[in-house]
Amino acid sequence: MAKKENLKNKLDMFQKETFQYERLEDVLGDRFGRYSKAIIQERAIPDVRDGLKPVQRRILYAMNHMKITSTSQYKKSARVCGEVMGKYHPHGDLSIYEAMVRMSQEWRMSVPLIDMQGNNGSIDGDGPAAMRYTESRLSKNADYLLEDIDKNTVPFIDNFDGEEKEPTVLPAKFPNLLVNGSVGISSGYATYIPTHNLAETIDATIYKIDHPSMTIDELLTIMPGPDFPTGGIVQGINGIKEAFLTGAGTVVVKSKISYEDFGDNQKRIVVTEIPFDTNKQKTVERIDQLRIDRKVDGIQEVRDESDRQGLRIAIDLKKGANEAAILNYLLKNTDLQVNLKYNMVVIRNQRPERLGVLQILDAYIDHQKDVITNRTNYLLQKAQDRLHIVEGLIKMVSILDEVIKTIRESKNKADSKDNLVSKFAFSERQAEAIVTMQLYRLSNTDVTALYEEKEALNKSIVEYNAILNSDKKLLKVIKQELVDMKKNIVTPRRTEIQHEISDLTIDEQDLIQKEQNYFVATRDGYLKRVSIKNYNLSKLNTIKEKDTIVFEGEVSTTDVMLGFTNLGSFVYIPIFKVDECKMKDIGSYINNIATISPIEKLIRVFIISKFDDKTNVLLTTKNGLIKQTKLSDFVVSRYTKDVRAMKLQD
């Protein structure tokens, strides 16, 4: 009995020490909150300082640590992925490789950060080759992000297992967040930051340093809008201004398009630049599908003529087609024109925030102040340490024979150091430097060179102290490095900015290619439009049993059917809205286009080519009512249902 009681007490004690009793909703809320924070900060949202997500930063740092720089040989991408996954990023290798590929794609990055050999995908949406087939190295642009990382410029933290160190941010010698943009989705947050021109962004940063109270209007004179690697045209200055001010706004991105003449007085629409982050192949397929479905009637052929010279989509139009109307339709119904929504959510001070461009520039400038300050402190310490050694070497030269004699008489290296310190008052570090030198170097030491080095070191120390003690000089260093970087990487603007958004009002009639068809309308409301070629092959007209024909004859696709019903209503139906079919088919029911009552019947149909004021329509009833109306009054803007033409008596 005592044993059972003792066992029960042990179990109770184990439960108290091991298990925590909490409400399920509290546990879920707390755990999901932690998970969301990790997703936001550690995976999906970029840091405002260097513009990188953690996986991107880890890739660049790992490649730099492996000495795979822009001047080294290419290495297998799989090797880089393994290094990143094993030391810094304990997630799937596929996500690491996808991030590598994206940073190498010149149609997605304003200045690519990775130089990749092999198939790294395409603007058509083709996937890259497997990581075992491609090779990579850092691009010259990435070198600027990593420059001085070995000079204590940024803080380092332990990696996931505590065996390695990784940077929390890169030095970033240019505002990468604005230049290369970012896209990401996390728990409760999403970010979409378009790319901008490197030279303009640097100029804006320098102007912000000189004018801390810089306005949005001043910013727009330097940096007028986004600049995409795919070019194109951005429309809507108000949207750009709103996005730059608040971090959220919408702009229109339009393809760059021109016209060419070909054939028998025909026109060709040529697309040479498409909106950023759109799939060229899908765009071509969408245009061709519109042609096949006869949504737009004037397109003869669509071809993708892109080659190594650049992107080119050719859209051949039929003779007499309205090229302006067709282009407007394509812009409105395909990705030749898209709305791009800024949503500049970033991590600042370990918290997600939506920032405007001016706030992003401020954060970048503050980061550069920290980087340059840390680097200057590092260089100052190095210079002071070296100066101390040089002063010891100069002192050594003046008593060289005695120093050499002391070293030779000493038992070992440690004894030599002790004797130098005790006899000649050298410091430990000076003595270490002397005994480390070989005897032939001791005797051949050039005192003139030492004095020159001492003078240069003293000058550097004065300069470093001046930078550390003067915010003005610190900012001058930042500006000069930005100017030097801008000179080394030339990036002309590729995207045109237009202040106004084009009006894409479309008159469907303008999209219709004028051609002759054979048209049939029946009393029960069945309509069919047949090509003349098909009509000539078979003139056998099929209609439903007990139905009768109220109209048949040749019409133009630009004509309008005006059909009157037994209930005093009329329907207005453009001929091109009727589906094309064969004579043997029953045709399309009228309610597919314009809704009428189940008991309504068509009693008279007119085909109208032009609605004018000089022509009247006379309506009469069997009870003797008469009404005369101008033909132009029967034009309606919406033809999805019938319209009252004349009120009938009960």
Q: Enumerate the active-site residues.
A: 133
Whether 582 and 533 have beta carbons less than 8 Å apart is answered as no
The whole-angstrom separation of Cα 13 and Cα 16 is 5
Cα-Cα-Cα-Cα dihedral sign, residues 393, 399, 404, 405? negative
608 CB-side CA count, 13 A? 22
Single-letter amino acid, residue 293: D
Q: Which 8-state DSSP code applies to residue 538?
A: -
Q: Which two tokens stand for residue 301?
A: 């052929």
Cα-Cα-Cα-Cα dihedral sign, residues 63, 66, 72, 77? negative
588 CB-side CA count, 13 A? 18
> Pairing between strand 516-522 and 560-565?
unpaired
The residues near 427 (Cβ < 8 Å, ≥ 6 apart) are: 388, 392, 421
Across the strands, what pairs with 519?
529, 553
The whole-angstrom separation of Cα 439 and Cα 162 is 43
Q: Which two tokens stand for residue 577?
A: 């809205």
The contacts found for 2-7 with CB under 8 angstroms, 24 or more apart, are none
* Dihedral, CA of residue 47, residue 48, residue 52 and residue 54, to nearest 10: -10
SS3 readout for 91-131: CCHHHHHHHHHHHHCCCCCCCCCEEEECCCCCCCCCCCCCC
Element (H, E) at 363: helix 357-398
Strands (E), 345-421: 345-348, 351-354
The whole-angstrom separation of Cα 431 and Cα 362 is 48
The whole-angstrom separation of Cα 295 and Cα 616 is 33
The residues near 401 (Cβ < 8 Å, ≥ 6 apart) are: none
The whole-angstrom separation of Cα 152 and Cα 21 is 46
